[in-house]
Structure 1
Amino acid sequence: MLEVNAPIGNIFLDKGFDEIKSGNFEKLKISRMELEKRILRRKGDRGTDVGFNLDPGVKLRHGDVIDNGNTKIVVEQLPEKVISIRLKTKNMVDVMVLLGHIIGNRHRPISIQSEEIVFPIQADSEKEVFTKLFHNIINHIEMTVDERIFSPHSGADVHEH
């Protein structure tokens, strides 16, 4: 078993790993919730058994690279269901405040990407719940459900319920 205390870098952040992006490498697929754990054991897609006992303060992220001595293994976050919301009209401060209030009351982590607010859900049916919650502003927003890799905004660290 490969024991890991910290990744050696990230393919999206470190130029030294550019050759890995186009190469043939092992992937270790992990959910966002598992990325939060310090102690974790998983198998890569080529069978490498990896045990994480991360040093204090170290968190795994999508694209992190670990080294098993022979080859590099890349941590790949699994996509998850999310709701994404866009304003139909820009600079509607009252709508933005209400969106923040409603999503915040549901204790959801959020990500703000360009002009889009994204947060994870468990099932497609939650779109109905949020449609009802957003009833006062529903005509001012576009809401879609899809699957993607979700990374919460670092300043909005909340506990999911």
Structure 2
Amino acid sequence: MILIEAILGNISDTEWAGRLSTADIDLIEIDQWEAQKSRFRKMTVKGAEVAVSIDRGTHIRDGDVLLWNAQAHAALVARIELRDVMIVNLDDLTKLRPEIAMRTCVELGHAMGNQHWPALVKDNLVYVPLTVDRKVMASVMNTHRFEGIRYEFVPGREVVPYLAPHESRRLFGGAEGPVHSHTHENYADVEAETGRVHGHPPTQIHAPHRADAHGQSSPATAGSARDHRG
């Protein structure tokens, strides 16, 4: 059994990127929840048994180097599968009368708050990490039929590059690894008929807010979604 007691670095580090470019790499695949633990056991992709026992409060991030054998020029690297994210697009609210748009926002916040869903707002998009099965989340959204709201589910890895570090930590708890935020001029392109979001999320604003209003809710109208994994 291989005992891991410290994180050596990350594949994004210049030093490790060069060192690992020609190395024999084994992977330990863990989910987002395991990444928050300081002690667990796991089999690597190549079949080695690993026991992780790192300092409490230390979390493994995607791409962390857990073992380096200079003589064999071999390494063990963590690969973390991030949970999917529901992206709620609010662009169409600008086409509605102000009182309807405001009511829809309150209803959306109330519904998410009742479900205890964490949420991150960036401009006209709301990011909600999956905390339950996507069918359950889709059912909640479809039941309310929020007017002017469209949404889809996308893999967490597709969202990470377009978030500021503190925003990414809010959605993924720091398991995503180093975050490099990018700024884009245009919004994602959306099909009104299907609710699908094409392209990548904008990052013109880096100020997260919680969509967790707790007012009275009544069913709205018009909403659609397609189950999509990118």
Q: TM-score, normalised by structure 1?
A: 0.72
| Letter aligned with residue 125 of structure 1 | K
Q: Does 1:88 align with 2:96?
A: no
Q: Which structure has the highest strand share of the two?
A: 1
Go from structure 1 to structure 2 and tell me whether the alpha carbon gap of 1:97 and 1:54 turns closer, same or farther (over 3 Å shift). farther
Paired with 2:122 and 2:64, the residues of 1 have a C-alpha distance of 21
1:147 maps to what in 2?
155
Structure 1 stretches of 5 or more lacking a match?
none
| Letter aligned with residue 141 of structure 2 | F
Alignment partner of 2:141: what SS? helix
Q: Does 1:25 align with 2:28?
A: no
After superposition, the CA RMSD in angstroms is 3.4
Paired with 1:88 and 1:22, the residues of 2 have a C-alpha distance of 46
| TM-aligned CA deviation for residue 107 of structure 1 | 2.6
Is 2:88–2:126's contact at 8 Å kept on the other side of the alignment? yes
Structure 2 stretches of 5 or more lacking a match?
161-166, 174-230
| TM-aligned CA deviation for residue 84 of structure 1 | 1.9
The one of 71, 77, 81 equivalent to 2:80 is 77
Paired with 1:144 and 1:46, the residues of 2 have a C-alpha distance of 35
Deviations 1:33-91 (A, max 9, x none): 11111111011111222111120220111111111534221111124343222222588
Task: Quote the sequence identity (%).
Answer: 21
Paired with 2:6 and 2:121, the residues of 1 have a C-alpha distance of 27
Paired with 2:17 and 2:2, the residues of 1 have a C-alpha distance of 23
Alignment partner of 1:6: what SS? coil
Paired with 2:132 and 2:51, the residues of 1 have a C-alpha distance of 27
1:125 maps to what in 2?
135
| TM-aligned CA deviation for residue 21 of structure 1 | 5.9
Alignment partner of 1:125: what SS? helix
Q: Does 1:108 align with 2:117?
A: yes
Go from structure 1 to structure 2 and tell me whether the alpha carbon gap of 1:5 and 1:140 turns closer, same or farther (over 3 Å shift). farther
| TM-aligned CA deviation for residue 18 of structure 1 | 1.8
Greater CA drift, 39-48 or 111-120 = 111-120
How many residue pairs get matched?
153
Which structure has the larger Rg over C-alpha atoms?
2
